[in-house]
Structure 1
Amino acid sequence: MITLLGAEFAAASTARGRHFLSSCLLAAAALALTGCIPATTYVATADPADPAAKVAAAGYRSTIAPYTGLRPAAPAPWRDRNDAVTPQPKQDR
């Protein structure tokens, strides 16, 4: 059983080695051919130097538009404000 596993591992290792070698050769060929590709390619878009080129409209949205100032505010007496938020005592007791 162990001999069979060793043989399978050796066969897979050999196949993996051939695959690695072919991958390296393919990568080397790709690197060699990248020198043949021009650095810039022409893309059919509008010329940025053309003043008549259509562009998206620029809009302005204020980041603080919903803000409303709350100062100066006249301070209310603290006892009235405190009594307004305290729970009312139950009348049953």
Structure 2
Amino acid sequence: MSAQFGARLAAVHSVVENLYSIRFRTIAGLAAAALALGGCLPTTVPLAGADPADPSARVAGVGYRSTVAPYTRLRPVAPSSWREQNDRAAPAPKSGQ
């Protein structure tokens, strides 16, 4: 019984060790690639206009538009027959049949 347990433990240990070595190599390779490609990034461009931190800089005016402008007030109405509402919504009957 203990021999089987030892064999299983050795098999699991070798599989886990193999997975972790593959995972470590993958992560190390990705980190090396990120560092190498980090030097390829473009440098930042200086500002083309006025400094946004300058309080005297001219800016465009701010306009106001209501977000609820097309709103129309709907008042409650008395309930009506569902049959009448259904007849109003139904398509017109076809003639000639």
Q: TM-score, normalised to structure 2's length?
A: 0.43
